[in-house]
Structure 1
């Protein structure tokens, strides 16, 4: 057994204590949201800082489930996330594969990719481009302008450059073309990096609200984050949700509990994905960043 000095043991305890406090600081806001979302109106009014409700009720969750605008925005967000992530992965992987091989104008294209990382056109030119291309007030305005993230493209390209060329040469000798090599060899070998950026892109689409505010005028096409902004910023959850059930309108739950419930419902789905893709983070990003 390795001997550990007193200083080492003190450091271990201090490190464990620091990490425990840090974990508690991150978990506590979610626990507070969870507790407040299940409290009753009277108990919420009496308690200045609620930790554990004496009586648990699900009125706030029933209320938001009755909201057509909330459920519609949740459906829109799911559609945008699925289609947007698939689009991101397709465009990023195909362009990264092309740039990982010697092609005409490779350096020029890479310079333009790096240029976009350093300089941005800004909000007004981006809006004008979206408007002139006919994407305004369409969910495609939230997908196509961000189809490729330059940083992600560079990491995926570096990963592709690290795949031995001998594998591709063997496939070419067997009669495979570039498309077959990309689909049957490169993509299966790139599962770690693709899984990593699947989560990155999905989280980006799920949490995106500014593009929805900027490009979407039709409230029926708003993603869930825009609805949450209406609920939290305007501090008027009852009117923002627009519940159609008149029976619920007679005695709606406290707006604060509705806010907490809405935030949790909008946050939990994307959190569920993390455990399934977390193991690919270090492998995907680190391998892609050091190879080539």
Structure 2
């Protein structure tokens, strides 16, 4: 029994209707949680099970005939390891550049004394709805000499306008009097940004790191268009080859002759690669989760 305290509400208690509503809410949320968790549990269990039981449908929750053979094949495959390392480099360098560029764009736009900031924001928002298109963008990147290079995965997406808007709005929520006091004491714009604004903006910076890191980690279309050298392929493009194109010859042993044996090998690899591809982001999120809601809500609503 929950009692609600407050002036004039000392004797107010939950009604039977309220308790029924709460019970149904718990049941509904539990069902939603199970629907979300079951696919994750299934993928983990399938990656640790004998593929024969997965294909036949005998494995539906917990691992059956536990084995790590699929993971052994994954970590012995040079293409997957190389793709993993490429994705790590793209994610770390790209996220760092993204966050720096977003801060440098959002801070001036949050200043009241910036002339023409309304026009600049309108121009930037315009690019959200209208872009140059795939072919003109490809021709531009080709003329810049970035095709099939490391930087083609970094520079074209160095700035996201929507994230600039979120960070600018967060900066605007910081009391302007703090910046005015610093200016009176002789601080310049960069010192105000470094010593006052950024220390107060860690929640939104954490959100930006998460947004950009997930975007870089999951990116494959850009690599599909601009990269031809397989040594530069990110992990997601390697995963796409395994799941869609069936390019698994290097991971299947030479003694595998029958179609069934090949199917079993591919089935185990598929789930193991899914786990390897998603694990880093799943490990990153808990460290940033406590800042996530605060950063998004303040950055989106205040201003």
The answer to whether TM tops 0.5 is yes
User: Could you list the runs of 5+ residues in structure 1 that have no partner in the other structure?
Assistant: none
Q: Does 1:78 pair with 2:88?
A: yes
Of 260, 270, 290, the residue aligned with 2:271 is: 260
- Aligned residue for 2:47? 37
2 CA distance for matches of 1:40 and 1:162?
55
1:228: how far off?
A: 0.8
Counterparts of residues 194-213 of structure 1 (less than 5 Å): 194-213=205-224
- Aligned residue for 2:204? 193
Q: Secondary structure at the match of 1:266?
A: helix
Q: Does 1:157 pair with 2:157?
A: no
Contact kept in structure 1, 2:170 and 2:300, CA below 8 Å: yes
1 CA distance for matches of 2:26 and 2:255?
51
User: Could you list the runs of 5+ residues in structure 2 that have no partner in the other structure?
Assistant: 4-12, 257-261
Which range moved further: 15-24 or 75-84?
15-24
Larger radius of gyration: 2
Counterparts of residues 136-175 of structure 1 (less than 5 Å): 136-175=147-186
Please give the per-residue CA displacement for 1:205-249, whole angstroms capped at 9, x wherever unaligned.
11111111011111111111101110111234x32xx34xx9x55
TM (norm. structure 1) is 0.91
Contact kept in structure 1, 2:46 and 2:59, CA below 8 Å: no
User: RMSD in angstroms over aligned alpha carbons?
Assistant: 1.9
Q: Does 1:25 pair with 2:35?
A: yes
1:291: how far off?
A: 2.4
2 CA distance for matches of 1:53 and 1:284?
39
Please give the per-residue CA displacement for 1:103-122, whole angstroms capped at 9, x wherever unaligned.
24322211111101222222
Contact kept in structure 2, 1:159 and 1:291, CA below 8 Å: yes
Contact kept in structure 2, 1:35 and 1:52, CA below 8 Å: yes
Counterparts of residues 45-64 of structure 1 (less than 5 Å): 46-64=56-74
TM (norm. structure 2) is 0.88
- Aligned residue for 2:131? 120
Of 229, 235, 242, the residue aligned with 1:218 is: 229
